[in-house]
Amino acid sequence: MRVAVLGAGYAGLTLARKLEQTLPDSVSLVVVDEEPEHLVQHELHRVVRRPSLADEITVDLDAVLDCEVRQATVTDVSTDEGTATLDGAETLSYDVGAVCLGARTAFYDLPGVREHATPLKRLADAHDIRERFLELGDGDRVVVGGAGLSGVQVAGELAEMASDSDSEVLLLEQEDAVAPSFPASFQSAVHDALVDAGVTVRTGTGVAGADADTIALEDGSDLAMDQFVWTGGIEGSPALDADRPVVRADLRLGESTFAVGDAARVVDSDGEAVPASAAAAIREARVAADNIGTLVERQQGGSGEFQPRLTQYQFNVPGWLVSVGDDAVAKVGPSILTGRAALALKTTVGAGYLGTVGAVQNAVDLVSEELDLDARDTKPE
């Protein structure tokens, strides 16, 4: 019997690590990812300002997994047949599978945006954003489109880099507030932190298109720019035709296939839509591991005629965290934290995640790098 985990992001790596501990020895586990390394995506913005951090936020999959790891691109998935197409040619069959392919940057067919804006999904993107920014002169403007957590964080990093120049960092958001998917108290604190960092924030401002030096806005006006970073939304993997299919709380995409993390739009056991986030993906992966184990046990026991009782996912995270340059904002229960307390909490969470996936040295190095507070201009509250 074979279990296949397609994708090794937050959901895929967490799931694979759990399955290694729980699957019977008679079951073969294979993990497929287009990269040989796992990227700690929520720290990627840091690389824009500190390229050396790239080593701490990349984890060699072979070093943390004790199963078959295949480096290939999943180009198609058939949940009915229990197959995945790799690199457009090879067919990988599985008895139970999990689609953990994450999401890609969505450009929404906005004219010129894909051609003239840089997304932030890969290390190469972070390096490109940095190099382009360093080429700007005093008085030039970099525009970040989209004020979700990724947009907030990259705007904060760029603002710190611009602090010794007259360059402007402008953050655009189509909705009426930054971090629009989050609670109002968190939104307000994030907005204040952005302004304190030197970011110009414009909400209620949608992008209609772009060329090499101008962004067309939905209100018909034009905005001059010298660099454009795009974090305006996500879409599904090409293997799923760019769709993010809706799955219910058991995370089941097909009879023997699950969808975990940003690859799908999850509706939890309370009927609530789950936001795309690392925290949700990690917790979903634990539920998926339980349910895959249930299906494996059923298939090996020959009781396929019975519908298994599957664990239901309920979205529940203790709070939210976001970096804003040398500051951070955390919402823990009803409390909002900023400054050193929030920075320490965010670093602890990042290091804790690395520890759970077996990257202990990466965790130690990240703590050492992030908590070098003497080199920061933080402000406790």
CA torsion 49→52→56→62, rounded to 10°?
A: 120
| 178-188 confidence digits (pLDDT tens) | 999 899 999 99
DSSP structure class, residue 57: T
- CA atoms lying within 13 Å on the CB side of residue 316: 7
Q: Which CATH architecture has domain 107-232+319-375?
A: 3-Layer(bba) Sandwich (3.50)
| Structural domain boundaries in the chain | 2-34+72-104+235-301, 107-232+319-375
pLDDT above 90 for 367 = no
Q: Each residue of 217-272: pLDDT tens digit?
A: 999 999 999 999 999 999 999 999 999 999 999 999 999 999 999 999 999 999 99
DSSP, collapsed to helix, strand or coil, labels residue 110 as: coil
Q: Let me know if the fold of 2-34+72-104+235-301 is the same as that of 107-232+319-375.
A: yes
- Under 8 Å between Cβ of 74 and 86: yes
From the number of C-beta atoms within 10 Å of its C-beta (0-12, 13-18, 19+), residue 268 rates as buried
Enter the tokens of residue 88: 């457009």
pLDDT reported for residue 381 = 36
- 95-149 per-position pLDDT tens digit: 999 999 999 999 999 999 999 999 999 999 999 999 999 999 989 999 999 999 9
pTM above the 0.75 mark? yes
Q: What is the DSSP string of 132-197?
A: HHHT--TT-EEEEE--SHHHHHHHHHHHHHTTTSS-EEEEEESSSSSSTTS-HHHHHHHHHHHHHH
Q: Encode pLDDT of 49-64 as tens digits.
A: 999 899 989 999 999 9
Q: How many CB atoms lie within 10 A of CB 50?
A: 14
- What tokens appear for 23 in the block? 């699957």
The CATH superfamily assigned to 2-34+72-104+235-301 is: FAD/NAD(P)-binding domain (3.50.50.60)
Task: Report how far residue 253's alpha carbon sits from residue 295's, in angstroms, rounded to the nearest whole number.
Answer: 14
